Amino acid sequence: MSTPIRFALIGNPNCGKTSLFNRLTGARAKVANYPGVTVERRSGMVTGLTKPAELLDLPGTYSLFVTSPDEQVARDVILGKLAGERRPDLLIAVIDACNLRLGLRLVMELKSLNRPMILALNQMDEAKRRGISINTAALSQAIGIPIIETVAVNSQGVAELRTTLDGYAQQSATPAGEQTLTLSDRQESVEALYAEIESIISQHVIQPAHLPRWQDRLDSLVMHPLLGLVVLFSILLVIFQAVFAWASPVVDLIDAAFSGLGSVIGAILPDGILKDFLVDGLIAGVGGVLVFLPQIIILFFFILVLEDTGYLTRAAFLLDRPMRGLGLSGRSFIPLLSSFACAVPGIMATRTIADPRERFITIMVAPLMTCSARLPVYALIIAAFIPEQTVWGFFNLQGLTLFALYFAGVASAALIAWIMRRRTSGREEFPLLLELPTYRWPMAYHLLMGLRERAWIFIRRVGTIILALSIVLWFLATFPGAPADATLPAIDYSFAGQLGHFMQPLFAPLGFNWQMCIALIPAMGAREVAVSALATVYAVGEESIDVALGSALAASWSLPVAYAYLAWFVYAPQCISTIAVVKRETNSAKATTFFTIYLFALAYFAAWATYQIASAIVS
Amino acid sequence: MNTALASEALIPALRLDQCRKGAHVRVTGLIAQPLFGTQDERVSLRLKELGFLPGAPLKVIGFGLLGSDPLAVQVNGTKFALRRAEAAKICVELVVVSTAL
């Protein structure tokens, strides 16, 4: 038997499916995409079984009559209709014991497919705490499916589930390319199905009439039109504070570790091309991007906590109306929030948006959220050109400038989304229909596993795309080498230098000099590399780059030029990874070309306007 | 339950989007919403699947910031956020009106 048996977890969103997946697989998820579509495919091998068995974590779904790309994948996999994806041999339907009706409804629908299925009744501990009492044996008999009670927070019930799965694992897997099922047109009405569920529930389940009072009290605060916004903005403030302030010690540590590694290797190796390559190419390139790991982890920590507690959907509820005016909805909030750390995970998070038009607009404007890679560039230029003085009593002028740059990004995103919506108006609306799950205490294990997964995705990207780009850019900046009688910095003679000179006339209306143009080239790999590239072209020593480079820039750039450079970085799609992820998520060369051109055009225009206006004011 | 019958008689076609915060109502049926165009049937189906079926008890728990949109409702113990366009598809009858009204 070559192919292992395949199990699939299926259930409503928020039913604790993914926690159960982590428990069963030891959180060893292989994250990829389903063939041909951009829905995340999570799979792993079930641990502790006598035979190998694969477990698939299907996207959360309410029904087989689908309304979003996510749900469609879940359905197609179950039916064996997704090309290149083998139909699961056994379905593990996961139901939140606190939300029985919705879960049972999906189960009854799945049951009509006549596929082997077992039912995991999840969150049993929480259900008991709320006074919900379920006669599991009788319920199992009534619906004709084996039921196992589980608590995903600890391993209770998971062991029993594993034993059951082991029994199934003894059977052989369906050979690849097996038959597909067809979904019969909805024969029985929703009403009839619900009537059946009601009768089952009334016989075997005792439910209290109300949710715990604190849940409703919390909601009346958090979802209050005004107080709710105060809560939301306070939370956002804490997140930003954490991402930028708490991360900095760790960022400095990673930075120091990489420069330490660089100098150690620099001391060991003889001078030459190998040393240059390792120190300036590899270590500086990879290290320069890896320093963002702490910020990304902190941001995702908050997003995961807010998601697990059930708060994020409340935020989406509050922001739905303001965002709808821009052609977006509350559902766009989470991808855009993620984009403040990095547009790549932000754009990937748009997969939960059902409306293709809204998803498109969200992808198009996500890079305008100021990502953490822009921060080093902003910090350098602000420190060099903006005096550190207090305005209006307590505002720091440098801080205010930074805020203005963030604001420019958000305001532009709003404007562009609005224009894009105008362009495509007159289309039919999509419903919001968002479940507001009950509040829960986040689970440490689940959080840790989620963070580990996100961190790995980022690290893998650093190890592949960014590594390759670092090598290419180092090559461009190193070859051909400077002649023996060179008077200018070596980079001036390299391909990158030549490219910079070649580009300069194009950027002359923006006030950019050739050094600035050169820095734009490696910044295509990652924006923050612009800082080290500027250090290279201005031939500033390795030590205390920030201070020395700052004064070098202050000496050679005029204020309007500095402002123009900042404006360029607000808009330019200065990051190949972002363009690559847009291509992957939209699956359209046309959309990707549009994305790249519109952002470059916007950057050019913004920098030009900034330069011209600032020059006029200064003179 | 007399109140329910009485209000039904007085206001024959009350829709969910016309209800106040804190209102306790019961779903009487779903109607078409032209805003959703060809998708309308699918939206109706999804609403039913989520439990917005005739007879289901429903409570309006809150409103968004502008124009009381979207609204949050609780049906069968589960809370949902709906936009006015979706809420306007749901016909209801009043059961108990909270003191806020």
CB contact under 8 A, B49 and A330: no
Strand A5-11, strand A90-96: pairing: parallel
Which of B39, B45, B62 lies at the smallest CB-CB distance from A428?
A: B39
From the list A215, A182, A6, the residue with the least C-alpha distance to A99 is A215
Q: Calculate the average pLDDT of chain A.
A: 83
Q: What is the pLDDT of residue A42?
A: 84
Average pLDDT over residues A75-85: 84
The answer to whether residue A610 scores a pLDDT higher than 90 is yes
Q: What ranges make up the beta strands (E) of A338-460? A: 390-391, 395-396, 434-436
Residue A186: closest CA among chain B residues belongs to which residue?
B45
Do the beta carbons of residue A343 and residue A369 sit within 8 Å? yes
Q: What is the ipTM of this complex?
A: 0.83
Pair of tokens at residue A299:
């941001």
- Identify the weakest region by mean pLDDT among A47-56, A281-290, A355-364, A501-510: A281-290
> What distance in Å separates the CA atoms of residue A410 and residue A416, rounded to the nearest whole number?
10
Q: Say yes or no for a CB contact (<8 Å) between B76 and A101.
A: yes
What are the tens digits of pLDDT across the range A298-329?
878 888 898 888 898 898 888 888 888 888 88
The model's pTM is 0.79
**For B45-96, what is each residue's pLDDT tens digit?**
889 889 898 888 999 988 877 667 889 999 988 899 998 889 999 999 988 6
Q: DSSP assignment, residue B69?
A: E
pLDDT at A479: 78
- For residue A290, what are its two tokens? 């890896």
Residue B94 and residue B3 in contact, taking contact as beta carbons nearer than 8 Å: yes
Is residue A432 a contact partner of residue A330, using CB atoms and an 8 Å limit? yes
State residue B8's pLDDT score.
Answer: 45
Which token pair is A514?
């050739």
Residues 60-99 of B with CB under 8 A from A: 61-67, 69-70, 72, 74, 76-83, 85-86
Q: Give, rounded to a whole angstrom, the gap between the first and last alpha carbons of chain B.
A: 19
Give the chain B residue nearest A103 (alpha carbons): B50
Instruction: Among A65, A225, A431, select the one facing B63 at the smallest CB separation.
Output: A225
Predicted local confidence at residue A571, as pLDDT: 92
One-letter amino acid for residue A457 of the chain? I
Cα separation, A284 vs A471, in Å, equals 11
What is d(CA A61, CA A91) in angstroms, rounded to the nearest whole number? Answer: 14
Tokens of A199: 């009768």
Measured CA to CA, the distance from residue A592 to residue A171 in angstroms comes to 46
Name residues 22-41 of chain B within 8 A of A (Cβ).
Answer: 35-39
The kind and range of the H/E element at A90 are: strand A90-96
Distance from CA of A190 to the nearest CA of B (A): 6
Task: Return d(Cα A468, Cα A475) in angstroms, integer.
Answer: 11
| Chain A: closest CA distance from residue B48 (Å) | 7
Cα–Cα distance, A360 to A378 (Å, whole number): 28
In angstroms, how far is CA A469 from the centroid of its own chain?
22
Nearest to A197 by CA among A148, A142, A120, A123: A142
| Cα–Cα distance, A393 to A457 (Å, whole number) | 45
Contact call for A101 and B77, based on CB within 8 A? yes
